[in-house]
Amino acid sequence: MRASLGLALSLALCVAASLSASAGLLPERVARAAQERIAAGTYQTLLFGVVDGETSELVAFGSLADGTPPDGDTVYEIGSVTKTFTATLLARAVLAGRVTLDKPVAALLPDFKIPSRAGRQITLAELATHRSGLPALPFNLLPKDQANPFADYDTAKLKAFLAHYQLPRDPGAAFEYSDVGFGLLGQALAELEHTTYDALARDAVLQPLGMTMSGTAATHALGVRLAPGHDARDKPAMNWNIPGLAGTGALRSTVRDMLRYLRANMGIDASPLAAAMKLAQQPRHDMDRTTRIGLAWRISDKGIVWHPGMTWGYRTFLGFTGDGRRGVVILSNTAADADDLGFATLLADAPLAPAHKAITLPSSSLDDYEGTYKLADKFLLTVFRLGDGLFARATGQQAFPILPSAPDEFFAKSWAIGISFTRDAKGAVNGLVLHQNGDHAAPKLTAGELPPELREVAIDVATLSDYVGKYRATFGVLEVALKDDHLEA
């Protein structure tokens, strides 16, 4: 189901809405791709807030579980887009003379023992540009409820982690995406103002922009309008509570509110945060070969200023052209990649991934695909079973589920990735082709071709028992148990 709602936003950020017969601002190829993905079950709902000059528009696709379409006031988790709010708060404090970007975070958190290295302390700028040396997640994140992994991770646990963590490199030496770093930055900024992150975000950003249906707290007003989330395998996902690391991903919002935030960042609507937003958007370091990073914000080589967001049940894209002419926010209550839809809304030549519809294969057939595949020297893709599904993990990256669309054909909802498995003359799987920014063939390695760290060796039972326990993994908590003469996870 598709609906369109035209939005006209005044400088005072008062919204007047009227029904529109067509999408208008949303490119036809993006609308078509959105409809195809809704039909294929990639997403349950998709909401676009599109900006072109002074004009804004809302376009909705899909229906919620109760059959009703989402609208401008349907609430979604926005995940790591929260980091751009935290960056705005930092820039605001800098412009007010409260802090400088090179101020050590330890100076704002005297009760914390912040790790340092070779006399180098972590600065606020290094937290905001992911160059602190802190890891993606804290090693003591061992949730009681894996469906809501951050719910019991409080300030005390963050303090305990930081007190014992040793930086692997000097602060500022390299980029490494860190939820820990932005959670710490949110704590520091809240401490600076003698308040909580929730109150600081509300008073300094949400209220000034008229974002009345946004916040970190699971209030009744947000709860009754919340779209239930779904994970990348179409299963219901619990909503996340993030008390100890709120600055990294705790906000919930609506497309109507996020349009206000987007237009303010684009400089279209006057706001008291205009200077802080511009400061946060200034590129400071290389993130990779095609992307630079400001304070949280990413700047592509094509001039797109953007940031993605994801929790286990939601996906968000927020971006705009560097000239401030076109912008888009996308909200979905399915944790499936929507970045290509965002870029295609902003750039006429940006590619769009094909729509895939998941099917069910016999469980026994999934064993055929398990193994390690060589994409390049020192870059392997490992495919493994977890429960009734398949997961893939590239060297140094997080694991993600892959779903079958046909025998030997799989795709990842979490990222715009397709995988085609190949077979030899006898029908055995002997390789794969990874479809992402081109086609990349990868032969399946035999046991003798595996690097030493992946080869199976015999270990006595007494030694195996040392490994029993719970371990934090990218896809949750891995529990290792001893069964007879082998380990099971």
- pLDDT tens digits for range 227-264: 999 998 889 999 999 999 999 999 999 999 999 999 99
Positive or negative: CA dihedral 202, 206, 212, 214 = negative
HSE at residue 418, side-chain half, CA atoms within 13 A, is: 16
pLDDT attached to residue 100: 98
**Nearest-angstrom CA–CA distance, 124 and 130:** 10
Strand partners, 7: 17, 56
Q: DSSP state, 206?
A: I
Which stretches of the chain drop beneath a pLDDT of 70? 1-23, 453, 455-456, 472-477
Residue 432's nearest CA partner among 370, 359, 363 is 370
Per the structure block, which two tokens stand in for 152? 């019991």
pLDDT attached to residue 78: 98
pLDDT attached to residue 17: 31
Domains and CATH numbers, the chain: 76-346 (3.40.710.10), 363-456 (2.40.128.50)
> Residues 237, 217, 193, CA angle at the centre, nearest 5°?
135
> Residues 43, 331, 56, CA angle at the centre, nearest 5°?
125
pLDDT attached to residue 455: 66
**Nearest-angstrom CA–CA distance, 27 and 245:** 37
pLDDT attached to residue 293: 98
How many CB atoms neighbour CB 439 within 10 A? 10
Helix axes 274-281, 255-266, angle to 10 degrees: 80
